[in-house]
Homo-oligomer: A and B are copies of this chain.
Amino acid sequence: MKAVVYKEPYKVAVEDVDDVNIQDPTDVIVRITSTAICGSDLHMYEGRTDAEPGITFGHENMGIVEEIGSGVTTVSKGDRVVMPFNVACGFCDNCRAGKSAFCLTVNEPGTAGGAYGYVGMGPYPGGQAEFLRVPFADYNCVQLPKGEEHEKDFAMLADIFPTGYHATELAGVKPGETVAVYGAGPVGLMAAYSAQLKGASRVFVVDHVKNRLDIVKAMGAEPINFEDGDPAQQIHDAVQAYGVDRGIDAVGYQATESEGNEQPAVVLNQLVDTVRHTGGLGVVGLYVPSDPGAPDEHSAKGELLFRMGRFFEKGQTMGTGQADAKRYAHKLRDLIIAGRAEPGFVVSKVLPLGDAPDAYARFDKREEGYSKVLLQPAR
């Protein structure tokens, strides 16, 4: 079958690879109809991880069930399904607590969490391919209405819509509250969108890229350009209060100052300033315990100069971590079906699988129109 294979830094190719097949009775095989490229794929693409050549990328997958194992109960051939990016068992302590991003079964002892097509996340080939093997399929498949409706919207259920929603859960967003989101990339937009769905009264989104900020405004949220001055101060001025109730980090450790230098803790520290006393911070932007490309020796070990004193003085809380996409995907799907949510608006381009190498290269250069690419292998 055809798949997007990592060759070397800055190079992927669409090649023939071995067919995937049922390995365990609880597996299914899914024919991929849509699979998105994620910002986190670029970490591997740019060679800033230990990803070995030969790995198939793709953790945002949906499609049609092609084959089922003998121990599968509720999934049938022909079902249209989307797979949350976390491979998970459904029955370990973390999965039972809804924390499927930290499954204790699917990866090496001492680690937690698995994913399709990602370095260090277990032996699961990605879905930027014609077919995908899905382990523990009764748990990992989310059923969708048959047909072709909402294809772009449903594809967002694999990762970024639940990830944005997760950010609002970590931050504790409640109806009527004010929210600040740092980062207007696809995840930041989904966080802002989720805050709106939950009934936030005002949602601010901080970035400096003009067309991103235009989308923010079009959504009915309030764009804050950090090049126009301290974003915390801009937001304080807007709310005329002690700060917003909740803050979200959708940027992560590769945050840059307005001059463009990487400053890994800048967003975290701005959030502390932006959010009121006793407010909540939700962090879904990635932070890593080891980063060889970091600007200093401490950041290289994931140790950041965090404004702990002020954070404590304000009595804030912080929730972090990869999203438990499975936990949210079902209800978010229901919002799409009911016509209340259309997360597919963030998809900037839909392409056949063969265009993946070009799409990766353009996305990596942040070319306009390539911010969220959906590959459709069946085309």
Q: Which residues of B contact A286 (CB under 8 A)?
A: 312
Task: Give per-residue flags for A163-187: 1 if the beta carbon is below 8 A from chain B beta carbons, else 0.
Answer: 0000000100011111000000000
User: Quick check: is A154 within 8 A (CB to CB) of the other chain?
Assistant: no
Q: With A304-B306, A331-B201 in contact, do A278 and B25 touch (Cβ < 8 Å)?
A: no
The residues in A between 2 and 57 inclusive whose CB is less than 8 angstroms from any CB of B are: 24-26
Q: Which residues of B contact A104 (CB under 8 A)?
A: 242
Task: Give per-residue flags for A80-105: 1 if the beta carbon is below 8 A from chain B beta carbons, else 0.
Answer: 00000000011111101111011011
Number of copies: 4
User: Quick check: is A197 within 8 A (CB to CB) of the other chain?
Assistant: yes
Interface size on A, residues (CB 8 A): 86
Q: How far is the CA of A315 from the CA of B334 in the complex (A)?
A: 23
The residues in A between 291 and 340 inclusive whose CB is less than 8 angstroms from any CB of B are: 291, 298, 301-322, 326-327, 330-332, 334-335, 337-338, 340
Min CB–CB distance A271 → chain B (angstroms): 12
Task: Give per-residue flags for A142-175: 1 if the beta carbon is below 8 A from chain B beta carbons, else 0.
Answer: 0000000000000000000000000000100011
**Interface CB pairs A-B, < 8 A, 11:** A24-B70, A25-B26, A69-B71, A93-B330, A102-B315, A112-B278, A198-B198, A201-B335, A286-B312, A315-B320, A317-B317
User: Quick check: is A138 within 8 A (CB to CB) of the other chain?
Assistant: yes
CB pair B307 A289 closer than 8 Å: yes
Q: Which residues of B contact A315 (CB under 8 A)?
A: 99, 101-102, 112, 320-322
Chain B residue with the shortest CB-CB distance to A312 = B287
Min CB–CB distance A334 → chain B (angstroms): 4
Q: Which residues of B contact A305 (CB under 8 A)?
A: 298, 303-306
Q: With A301-B309, A306-B304, A308-B306 in contact, do A73 and B105 touch (Cβ < 8 Å)?
A: yes
CB pair B277 A112 closer than 8 Å: yes
CB pair B253 A309 closer than 8 Å: yes
CB pair B335 A176 closer than 8 Å: yes
Q: How far is the CA of A301 from the CA of B327 in the complex (A)?
A: 38
CB pair B312 A320 closer than 8 Å: yes
Min CB–CB distance A240 → chain B (angstroms): 11
Q: With A26-B25, A70-B25, A321-B312 in contact, do A198 and B201 touch (Cβ < 8 Å)?
A: no
